Structure 1
Amino acid sequence: MTEVPETPAEFETGAVVRPYTLTGGRTRPAVELGYETLVEARTPPRAGMLPERRLILARTAHEFLSVAELSAHLALPVGVVRVVVGDLVEGGQVTVHTAARPTEATAQQLLESVLHGISAL
């Protein structure tokens, strides 16, 4: 396997790439991703991939990392990382794991359940 650099600063080109070029000018990811969304690689990094994508795949091959953690590792804004991860999700290269967020109905059911439990005491 090709060794993946630790940070974008170590990429062989040394050229500065503007964040909007990494996202094709897009500001929203193809899929909804929160800062806390965990990312898991499904495929190994390949030669010819953009360095940021290779780094995401390499970093998440053996451990889940959140979008915010990936942002710190890549030294890129969270919004850019969300778009890149969204592209990887659409390409089937990563899986994301999100925490279920309670809806208003679920929260009300939980409160009613707790109330009934307290009443039964």
Structure 2
Amino acid sequence: MDEEWYDDAGPVVRPYAVTGGRTRPAANHALELVALVLTTEHGRAMVRTLDPEQRNIVLLCQSIQSIAEISAQLNLPVGVARVLVGDMIDAGLVRVTRPARPSERPDVALMEKVLDGLQTL
């Protein structure tokens, strides 16, 4: 394959090649854009053996990043970021937490009472 042609086609071909043409992770992980990703100890230990995209995700997620942030920071389509992160969850390289849903958050009145209590200290 001609290297110049590959470089020109890289951004189009690479996501397909990286995900094996998949649009979803192998396991059915429902990864929202705001799902929070953090590298595991295993991920840190394996960083040198990973493919470039996975390595970049492991390095980026040393501090918590959302799927949207991973996509933007690494210039990956969101679908590709989801597939890669899903595969990395299965491999134990990263873990994902989801931010609290509105129904799981404390009541606003309770938070105001806590704030009032802190201000009186």
Q: TM-score, normalization: structure 2? A: 0.66
Aligned-residue offset at 1:49: 1.2
Q: 2:15 aligns with which of 11, 19, 26?
A: 19
Counterpart code for 2:52: P
Contact 2:38-2:64 within 8 A present in 1 as well: yes
CA RMSD for the aligned pairs?
2.1
Size of the aligned set, in residue pairs, is: 91
SS in 2 for 1:71: helix
Identity of matched residues, %:
45
Deviation at 1:74, TM superposition (A): 1.0
CA distance in 1, matches of 2:102, 2:73: 30
1:40 to 16, 38, 46: 38
Distance 1:27 1:19 in 2: 10
**How far did 1:28 drift?**
1.2
- The answer to whether the 8 A contact 2:32-2:67 is kept is yes
Residue of structure 2 equivalent to 1:49: 50
Structure 2 residue runs without a partner (length 5+): 1-5, 108-121
Q: Secondary structure at the match of 1:40?
A: strand
**Structure (1 or 2) with the greater helix fraction:** 2
Find the residue that maps to 2:49 and give its secondary structure: coil
Runs of 4+ residues deviating >3 angstroms: 100-103
Aligned AA (1:26): R
Contact 2:47 2:58 in 1 (8 A): no
2-structure distance, mates of 1:93, 1:81: 14
Q: Distance in 2 between matches of 1:47 and 1:74?
A: 18
Please give the secondary structure, in 2, of the residue aligned with 1:46.
helix
Distance across 1 between alignment mates of 2:47 and 2:74: 18
